[in-house]
Amino acid sequence: MDIQGLPGRLLAELGPAIASGELPEGAVLRIEELEARFGVSRTVVRDAVRVLESMRLVESRRRVGITVQPKSGWDVFDPLVIRWRLAGSDRAAQLRSLGSLRAAVEPAAAALAARHASPDHCRELSALAVELTVTARAADLTAFLRHDIAFHATVLRASGNEMFAHLGETVGAVLTGRTEHDLMPHQPEPYAVQLHREVAEAICAADPGHAERAMRTIVLGALEELDATLGHPADHGAPKRSGLA
């Protein structure tokens, strides 16, 4: 979701404040107070509040106000919620939670993609694997991130499972957060890029076992690297290597 203009600027203030706990569960906001504080119209405030309500971060009720909701009810898959949580003190827990989700889903998605990928999916994955190789060698992290997000989203779509496909934006938010918060190496490791090529080749060769194993190495390796970087190593069954995406 890309919110522009004044509602977007208001969201950029309120969203991170809620996600970080600065505005805790149960806190009540008033439309009039937000109008005065941010110098915006009632329409702008209501537009921003509607977005926050769609994420289940707040609930608006007449005569009560805008109440911050418990974290347990948030739409934690929303890319903006992920971005806001990654910007706050909850970053480590958010990254580990999302890393565990990827470890559970992406290897299975790769195996399914090897069974169901269309010729268009295969062409796209092969082209993206080439782009990842080129941008990694050039140490162009911006372009590498863009291609990496597209690669993983394509695998999820190629699985033929609409639930997996819907997680593309979520995975993209994780990869973006790791890059923005300096949790990726300045230049992706060659073996990490090779693993992405292996995933693409296995899917296009209709080899679900190889596709699943290569993707599992990618996502578990990323989770191991995250644990090591954050200072709380854990055994996820993968070698501690840097640069996995």
Average pLDDT over the chain reads 90
Residue 2 pLDDT: 52
pTM: 0.82
With pLDDT > 90 as the criterion, what percentage of the chain qualifies?
Answer: 71
Mean pLDDT lowest among 97-101, 135-139, 146-150: 97-101
Residue 32: is it exposed, middle or buried by C-beta count within 10 angstroms (0-12/13-18/19+)? exposed
Strands (E), the chain: 28-29, 58-61, 65-68
Residue 165 pLDDT: 96
With pLDDT > 70 as the criterion, what percentage of the chain qualifies?
Answer: 92
Q: Has residue 55 got a pLDDT over 80? A: yes
- Backbone torsions φ then ψ of 197, nearest 5 degrees: -60, -40
According to DSSP, residue 117 is labeled -
| Bigger pLDDT: 89 vs 183 | 89
What digits encode the pLDDT tens for the residues 59-83? 999 889 999 999 999 999 998 999 8
Residue 112 pLDDT: 98
* Whether domain 5-73 has CATH 1.10.620.20: no
pLDDT category at 242 given cuts 50, 70, 90 is very low
| Bigger pLDDT: 110 vs 183 | 110
pLDDT category at 238 given cuts 50, 70, 90 is very low
Residue 225 pLDDT: 80
Residue 1 pLDDT: 52
Residue 26 pLDDT: 97
pLDDT category at 3 given cuts 50, 70, 90 is low
Mean pLDDT across 46-63: 95
Helices 190-204 and 91-116, packing angle to 10 deg? 30
Q: Measuring CA to CA, which residue among 121, 135, 113 is closest to residue 202?
A: 113
What digits encode the pLDDT tens for the residues 11-42? 999 999 999 999 999 999 999 999 999 999 99
Residue 243 pLDDT: 54
Query: Domain ranges in the chain?
Result: 5-73, 90-230
Residue 96 pLDDT: 87
Overall fold of domain 90-230? Four Helix Bundle (Hemerythrin (Met), subunit A) (1.20.120)
| Bigger pLDDT: 6 vs 64 | 64
Q: What's the longest Cα–Cα distance across the chain?
A: 61
